[in-house]
Amino acid sequence: MFSPQEQQIEICLLKSNLEDIENNLVLQRSALPALDAENEQKYRETMTALRITRSLNTEIERLKMENVRLTAKRMQLKRQSEDVSKSLENARENRSELTNLLTEEEREIESQIRQYEDSLQEKADRFRKTRGFYNEEEVTKETEKIFAKITELEEELTRRKDVVDELKLELNAVQPEVPENLLDIL
């Protein structure tokens, strides 16, 4: 099959040849009336060739329009693919950042728990060494303060764990917005 340029050249040559044939037919018709039947046959052949040429031109124009449409569609799909790639990269970066934040938060909570345990151990050791010097009311008040502090710290620990759980849920909820049929689209 010819390329579009070759088809255009072929059409132009056919048109030129047809014009020459038509001019020859007019000359022959006027010069030799006896050849009318042959001239009529050539005229029909010329008209058939012209119809074929016109249909080829129409098909070429249709193919050009189809090519333009397909090129536009390809560019649109390319832009969509680039957008999806950027969104996916952003989602990966966000996930990495959230993971780092979550790890840091867990370290901080663990550090605070250790500090609290150390302070409790220190207080318990001090009490064991000096418990004879305390009277019962003061020890009771101190114990109530310690239990209040323990409750407060346990509530803080619970709140922090809830924050960590929420961050984990957010991290797990991060999903790239990539259609499942991306390969089909591409």
Average pLDDT of span 50-74:
90
| pLDDT greater than 80 at residue 165 | yes
User: Whole-number mean pLDDT of the chain?
Assistant: 82
Highest mean pLDDT pick, 5-9, 12-16, 90-94, 164-168: 90-94
Task: Say whether pTM exceeds 0.85.
Answer: no
pLDDT of residue 159: 92
For the chain, domain boundaries:
4-79, 93-179
CA distance 72 to 132: 91
Instruction: Please say whether the beta carbons of 83 and 185 come within 8 A.
Output: no
| pLDDT greater than 80 at residue 39 | no
| pLDDT greater than 90 at residue 158 | yes
Which structure tokens are listed for 33? 């009336």
- The model's pLDDT over 81-106, given as tens digits with 9 standing for 90+, comes to 999 999 999 989 998 998 999 999 99
Identify the residue whose tokens are 């329009």.
Answer: 65
